[in-house]
Structure 1
Amino acid sequence: MNTIGPVLVLTCADDPTSDVVINELNIRGVPVVRCDPAEVLAGTLEVSARFGGNASGSLLRTESRTIDLSTVRSIYYRRPSSYIAPASMSTQDGRFAKGQAKHGMGGILANIRGRWVNHIWRSIEAEFKPTQLAVASEIGFTVPATLITNSPDQARDFAKEHGPIIYKPLQNTELIKPDGDVLMVWADVVHPDELDDSVSLALHLFQARVDKQADVRTTVIGDKVFSVRIESPHLDWRRDYDKVTYAVIETPQHVTDACQRYLDRFGLLFGAFDFGIAQDGSWVWYECNTAGQWHWLELETGLPMTAALADLLEIK
């Protein structure tokens, strides 16, 4: 592994979390190159990769830097933008260009031999909720009874057996309100009369509601584990951050061990785990986000999370 080249940060332009990591690396004198792979369709990112014959290698050129991808020491894969074709292209040409950019850039970047936090392919695998649920159960987390279905009858039976139940989206899809604001779909209680035939129109994730005393966000960065107790009047604490309180807590050893088994199973070095603390004090697993937010918790609690991530990327 090359430990003298730059750290490559792959993310969108508006990503304050990456900003603080890059600033920390700059303070340490570690070279950093930041780019958004989707910019290849905007003409502001140039890529060349050679395979076979007498030459090989890949170059990436942003508006300010040119790097040989074989020299990259580590990659912080955060939140790249979606590929969007230029408005000047026809619908068909745009669809073609997007496909070429996605598969070309994805393949070139995935071949970088450095430390990934987290690798693009491993992140994609770990993004799917059904896969997360299966692995979480296999490695020993306490997982609430869960049903993924488009069957109204199955949903009604599940509600009778495990009620009260809640609904969670299988993916955080980008939705927009009529006024242009972002529309969020929160985890919420499902009432029996809502389980009508419209359930058949999409797949839904239903889950037994945990009788919880609080939530916990556990952020694992390499071998560092940071847990913060989160208290809110809402089922989904993200509804109103102004009403949330935070407290640093110790992570039980069995939870730490299970988190590491989970990440090892997917080949990940970073994970933002969400738990509920049941009334009996047990930790109930909800999900793990491979690119979850964490910096706001550092600001609230003083936990040294930026330094931990920079340590991982710096590779001393």
Structure 2
Amino acid sequence: MNILILGNSSDTHAAHLKNVLTQAGARVDYLDTNLFPTQLRMSWNPNTQIGCLTLPEGRRLKLQEIHSIFWRTFSGVYIPQLKDSYQQQIAFNDSMSALRSFMQACPSRWVNSWQAYQFHKEKPLQLNKAKQIGVTIPDTLIGNHPEEILEFVQIHEKVIFKPVYGGAHTQVLTEEHLEPKRLNLVLMLSPIAIQEYIPGTNVRSYVIGESVYSAEIRSPAIDFREDTDAELIPRELPEAVQQQSLAIAKAFMLDWTAIDWRVKPNNEYIFLEANPSPMFIHFENETGFPITQNLVNLLMN
């Protein structure tokens, strides 16, 4: 059974999964897209839908021979520096177009898919999709209109801000941030995402297929992902939230994900985001949840 891991050996989670899958009897290789097109070769015929992948060490795989692919990290492509910047851009565009086509044409099971990865990058749409399926989200505003941002701040007791694209850089919005000259300068460079601050507890839920594993994350930090000393306590979700977790994964096209919740003092669960390629080793070690084994089952079945 041929399984590929999108990424390379420098990633602890990729290396961990490769080792466990190999022990389970699979033939596992890294698919490091940063080696395309210099060392990684691929081809695909849209008419016959026949394609192949030749790895840097020379091993050749037909697309139909690849059982599954685990999406750990996507590093794009690497084009050697050319003197002509126009030719450089053409080479980059052609390589990315070929790679994107290849990744979407490959009939293997992707955990997770290109479509899921693309959807994850549009965080405002992710929040909207969660709202559409009946999940509660924080009051949120995305944009670069200073008057609307000031109006939003006025109606909430406490507000946080974060990158629209996502990432662990959540901060509390202060009067200093709202100083007119500073605010206008920032908003001329990029839009921001601001949200009402939700008092309560952080909970992370890992969804793998039909299984859901959750833990409370005890941390004084606004963004627990920046706290290396955060404490993890296994927690049973209410049945309704358990079903919401499965519904979010399905709506976001995710075979596996980590969902971040904020739980208010009244035990109301507020959805924050769903990650298509979360880190999991520390969570597994602290809670004892069989995340690795579930991923192995998902990739080998």
Paired residues of 1:13 and 1:36 also in contact (CA < 8 A): no
Paired residues of 2:208 and 2:257 also in contact (CA < 8 A): yes
Runs of 4+ more than 6 Å apart: none
Q: Which residue in the other structure is 2:44 paired with? A: 49
Q: How does 1:31-46 map to 2 (within 5 A)?
A: 31-41=27-37, 43-46=38-41
Q: Which residue in the other structure is 1:236 paired with? A: 223
Following TM superposition, by how much is the alpha carbon of 1:266 offset from its aligned partner in structure 2, in angstroms?
Answer: 2.8
Following TM superposition, by how much is the alpha carbon of 1:188 offset from its aligned partner in structure 2, in angstroms?
Answer: 0.7
Paired residues of 2:170 and 2:223 also in contact (CA < 8 A): yes
In structure 2, which of residues 1, 4, 7 is the aligned counterpart of residue 8 of structure 1? 4
- Shifted more, 8-17 versus 300-309: the winner is 8-17
Paired residues of 1:12 and 1:80 also in contact (CA < 8 A): no
Q: 1:262 to 1:240 in 2, by over 3 A?
A: closer
Following TM superposition, by how much is the alpha carbon of 1:34 offset from its aligned partner in structure 2, in angstroms?
Answer: 1.5
Question: For this pair of structures, how many residues does the alignment match?
Answer: 295
Q: How does 1:114-133 map to 2 (within 5 A)?
A: 114-133=108-127
Paired residues of 1:271 and 1:290 also in contact (CA < 8 A): yes
Paired residues of 1:50 and 1:58 also in contact (CA < 8 A): yes
Post-superposition Cα deviations, 1:100-142, rounded to whole Å, max 9, x if no partner, equal 1111011012111122211112321233111111011111222
Paired residues of 1:227 and 1:249 also in contact (CA < 8 A): yes
Q: How does 1:14-163 map to 2 (within 5 A)?
A: 14-41=10-37, 43-52=38-47, 57-64=50-57, 65-88=59-82, 90-163=84-157
Paired residues of 1:78 and 1:291 also in contact (CA < 8 A): yes
Unaligned runs of 5+ in 2: none
CA distance in 2, matches of 1:311, 1:259: 20
Q: Which residue in the other structure is 1:179 paired with? A: none
Q: How does 1:180-195 map to 2 (within 5 A)?
A: 186-195=169-178
Paired residues of 2:161 and 2:171 also in contact (CA < 8 A): yes
Paired residues of 2:116 and 2:276 also in contact (CA < 8 A): no
Q: Which residue in the other structure is 2:194 paired with? A: 206
Residue 310, structure 1, aligned to residue 296, structure 2: yes
Q: How does 1:269-284 map to 2 (within 5 A)?
A: 269-284=255-270
What letter is aligned with 1:200? Answer: L
CA distance in 2, matches of 1:87, 1:199: 33
Post-superposition Cα deviations, 1:140-169, rounded to whole Å, max 9, x if no partner, equal 222111111211110110000013100011
In structure 1, which of residues 263, 267, 271 is the aligned counterpart of residue 249 of structure 2? 263
1:210 aligns to what SS in structure 2?
coil
CA distance in 2, matches of 1:76, 1:157: 44
Paired residues of 1:40 and 1:46 also in contact (CA < 8 A): yes
CA distance in 2, matches of 1:89, 1:219: 47
Paired residues of 2:68 and 2:110 also in contact (CA < 8 A): yes
CA distance in 2, matches of 1:172, 1:261: 21
- Shifted more, 111-120 versus 79-88: the winner is 79-88
Aligned-residue CA RMSD (Å): 1.8
CA distance in 2, matches of 1:151, 1:86: 40
Paired residues of 1:6 and 1:73 also in contact (CA < 8 A): yes
Q: Which residue in the other structure is 2:202 paired with? A: 215
Post-superposition Cα deviations, 1:22-81, rounded to whole Å, max 9, x if no partner, equal 11111110122221123113x2211122343xx652111112322111121112122121
Give the percent of matched residue pairs that are identical in Structure 1 and Structure 2: 26
CA distance in 2, matches of 1:207, 1:172: 13
Q: 1:133 to 1:51 in 2, by over 3 A?
A: closer
Post-superposition Cα deviations, 1:183-242, rounded to whole Å, max 9, x if no partner, equal xx6101001342232353121100000111x21111111111111111112111122313
CA distance in 2, matches of 1:83, 1:62: 15
- Shifted more, 81-90 versus 29-38: the winner is 81-90
Paired residues of 2:54 and 2:61 also in contact (CA < 8 A): yes
CA distance in 2, matches of 1:161, 1:51: 54
Q: 1:31 to 1:12 in 2, by over 3 A?
A: closer
CA distance in 2, matches of 1:239, 1:38: 28
- Using the size of structure 2 for normalisation, the TM-score is 0.92
1:191 aligns to what SS in structure 2?
coil
Q: Which residue in the other structure is 1:182 paired with? A: none
CA distance in 1, matches of 2:222, 2:213: 22
Following TM superposition, by how much is the alpha carbon of 1:91 offset from its aligned partner in structure 2, in angstroms?
Answer: 2.5
Q: Which residue in the other structure is 2:287 paired with? A: 301
2:97 aligns to what SS in structure 1?
helix
- Using the size of structure 1 for normalisation, the TM-score is 0.88
